[in-house]
């Protein structure tokens, strides 16, 4: 089973709201990722967690706060977002090494009003 699940599928929030995106995998993968994808663009890497520790932060604004409570779960906490943060947020996981295949979830479509 190569499934990564993400909830919610869609999220609409105001600029003063606090919300969270959730990602889960049960493949025993030890690396998990958050990507942001704008329309007609490739995914842009935001964060990488390896063995539940943050290993890469691609200079993402602090209004995005990742969390990895355990090896199966990855959250992205959102606060005080801007309309330009509206995008498809993709989660992915991989066994661990840089050569390993990343498996993507279906994404959360976020709209910031």
Partner 1 sequence: AQSVTQPDIHITVSEGASLELRCNYSYGATPYLFWYVQSPGQGLQLLLKYFSGDTLVQGIKGFEAEFKRSQSSFNLRKPSVHWSDAAEYFCAVGAGLDTNKLIFGTGTLLAVQP
Give 106's DSSP letter: -
Smallest distance from partner 1 to CB 86, Å: 13
Residue pair 72/26 in contact (Cβ under 8 Å)? The answer is: yes
Interaction between residue 107 and partner 1 (CB under 8 A): yes
Token pair listed for 86: 């509206």
Q: How far apart are CA 28 and CA 93, in angstroms?
A: 9
Interaction between residue 76 and partner 1 (CB under 8 A): no
Q: Contacting partner 1 (CB under 8 A), which of 15, 56, 57, 77?
A: 56
Smallest distance from partner 1 to CB 24, Å: 14
């Amino acid at each position: 089973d190569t499934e990564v699940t993400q909830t919610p599928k869609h999220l609409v929030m105001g600029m003063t709201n606090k919300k969270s995106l959730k990602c889960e995998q049960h493949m025993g993968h030890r690396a998990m990722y958050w990507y942001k994808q704008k329309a007609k663009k490739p995914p842009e890497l935001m964060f990488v967690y390896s063995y539940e520790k943050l290993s890469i932060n691609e200079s993402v604004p602090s209004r995005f706060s990742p969390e990895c409570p355990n090896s199966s779960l990855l959250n992205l906490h959102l606060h005080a977002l801007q309309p330009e943060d509206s995008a498809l947020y993709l989660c992915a996981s991989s066994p661990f090494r840089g050569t390993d295949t990343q498996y993507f979830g279906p994404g959360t479509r976020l709209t910031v009003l």
